[in-house]
Structure 1
């Protein structure tokens, strides 16, 4: 893995937003891309978004997961079963979608020629690890065999996956004067209080319909509520994470603007 210190990627100014497009589950997911394009063009500062899915149960998958006729049939079948499929711009495999998940998205302009995906994953994961410590939990990153959307930058507690991560790079390094200014979108899905067994069953059915050789084990994952051993829903988690992030980034010497008023908006 690369040795770039993730702190060198931090901007001088950062906006923390809590936007949620509750009227459209798909637009709510793709809103990250719209913000990231504005960041790339220089019309807004580097942005962190803390947000919940619209209150519709489903799965979020990559474009590769639904390629071909099998993918189209799988989408139709899952919709009939009450698990609609939503397609994201980042990679990885299927993750649960619904009110029990909290999302943490980082959208930065592409300005660092020697930056690595590893450094951006560390930038994404370290604030979450430190937030978990703030909540009284020890966390680390690493693969969790048998977990959904497994990867080296899962965030895990007690050896169980709590957070899945993905990343997308778009455009180039030329900056805002380029015809195609670039951005990096790094995204984390945090399991807060969903039924993880039911969600993983849906993931396995989806891949069964596509013909993919994927077998996800429910015991490999958990939720933040289970690890905390007390009630903790996605609304509480959203408020808690935003309240943690503002002083966290300020302590790094960043000028932070935070839309904390949106944190309490109901879905």
Structure 2
């Protein structure tokens, strides 16, 4: 592995653990949390933040998804399948959240020089490699054609995608976000998104090119590592990795001032969702 990305060697990580609590609150709150921490970190009011989050079954759509010709029918299909549906405030296309998917956000300051977009992606890729270093596998970062929400930093093992990375920049803060399919069936999740697009497009011409999903291109880490991997076990790997990098880890929650900012961002994303379709 190449030398450690300096974005990972923070003196202190403020650790926000929503890996179990998130199952009990609105998934839209996660995006408001990350925006709040971007503001706090970017203004120097907070050290760098790492936040872990898991939500109940939810499909998170991108802005382009909300413009699908038969989006109402696609949403009806997802809700009948037992999923909530929201639109996020960052880029990308539809992804799945459920109890077997761990999301991590690295929230970093840009007040001492800009963070190139690829540097943020590389940091999250390397963090994932370090977390899984005990397993004899090679983790690649490249686009996996046929996966949902494809991108140049899809993380895969043997050409099967288990994670995708995105970024959001706000008020001198950068949130690098990853979803990690920890357990369950990656192919079943991909099939759900494939059927969503089928219901939402119905062979209608679209200006935007949506992915032609091939479910076999996706898998969970449990499937790929042939191990019963849990969210809790991966969280232990995460914390041990940060400690091994020499960082202090400070468990935390919103401050009083951050709570007021959070309420503003949460209200904003709720209103954006109400107008999305």
Fold in common (TM above 0.5):
yes
2:235 paired with 1:238 = yes
**Tell me, what secondary structure is at the counterpart of 2:103?**
strand
Relative to structure 1, is the Cα distance of residues 9 and 112 closer, same or farther in structure 2, using a 3 angstrom cutoff?
A: farther
| Cα distance, 1:72–1:43 mapped onto 2, change above 3 Å | farther
Contact 1:38 1:44 (8 Å CA) reproduced: yes
CA contact (8 A) 2:150 2:211 kept: no
Match of 1:150 in 2: 150
Q: Is the 8 A contact 1:147 1:216 kept in 2?
A: yes
- Answer yes or no: is the 8 Å Cα contact 1:131–1:244 preserved in 2: yes
Report the 3-state secondary structure (helix = DSSP H, G, I; strand = E; otherwise coil) of the residue aligned with 2:75. helix
Deviations 1:17-45 (A, max 9, x none): 31333322324522222222222232221
Paired residue for 2:249? 257
**In the alignment, which residue of structure 1 is the partner of 2:51?**
49
User: Alpha-carbon deviation of 1:10?
Assistant: 5.2
What is the 5 A alignment of 1:52-91? 52-53=54-55, 56-67=56-67, 70-91=70-91
Task: Note closer, same or farther for the CA distance 1:235–1:9 as it changes in structure 2 (3 Å cut).
Answer: closer
CA pair 217-138 structure 1, distance change in 2 beyond 3 A: same
**Aligned position for 2:257:** none
1:135-167 superposed Cα distances (whole Å, 9 cap, x missing partner): 333212111111121111111112211111111
CA distance in 2, matches of 1:44, 1:64: 33
Counterpart for residue 36 of structure 1: 38
Contact 2:222 2:229 in 1 (8 A): yes
Structure 1 residues 117 and 73, CA, compared in 2 at 3 Å: closer, same or farther? Answer: same
Are 2:119 and 1:119 equivalent residues in the alignment? yes
Which deviates more from structure 2 when the two are superposed, residues 20-29 or residues 122-131?
20-29
Following the alignment from structure 2 to structure 1, what is the Cα–Cα distance between the partners of residues 44 and 152? Answer: 32
Normalising by structure 1, report the TM-score: 0.80
Deviation at 1:72, TM superposition (A): 4.5
Q: Deviations over 1:66-90 (max 9, x none)?
A: 1377434532442133222222222
Task: Report the 3-state secondary structure (helix = DSSP H, G, I; strand = E; otherwise coil) of the residue aligned with 1:108.
Answer: strand
**Residues in 2 aligned to 1:203 and 1:76: alpha-carbon distance in whole angstroms:** 13
In the alignment, which residue of structure 1 is the partner of 2:266?
none
Query: Where do residues 88-237 of structure 1 align in structure 2 (5 Å cutoff)?
Result: 88-171=88-171, 182-211=172-201, 213-237=210-234
Q: How large is the Cα RMSD of the aligned pairs? A: 2.4
Contact 1:166 1:187 (C-alpha < 8 Å) held by counterparts = yes
How many Å separate the matches in 1 of 2:97 and 2:8?
A: 29
Q: Match of 1:264? A: none
Task: Quote how far apart the aligned CAs of 1:60 are.
Answer: 1.7
TM-score scaled by length of structure 2: 0.77
Q: Which runs of 4+ in 1 moved over 6 A?
A: none
Residue 175 of structure 1 aligns with which residue?
none
Q: Secondary structure at the match of 1:115?
A: coil
Structure 1: unaligned runs, 5 residues or longer: 172-181, 261-267
Q: Is the 8 A contact 1:132 1:139 kept in 2?
A: no
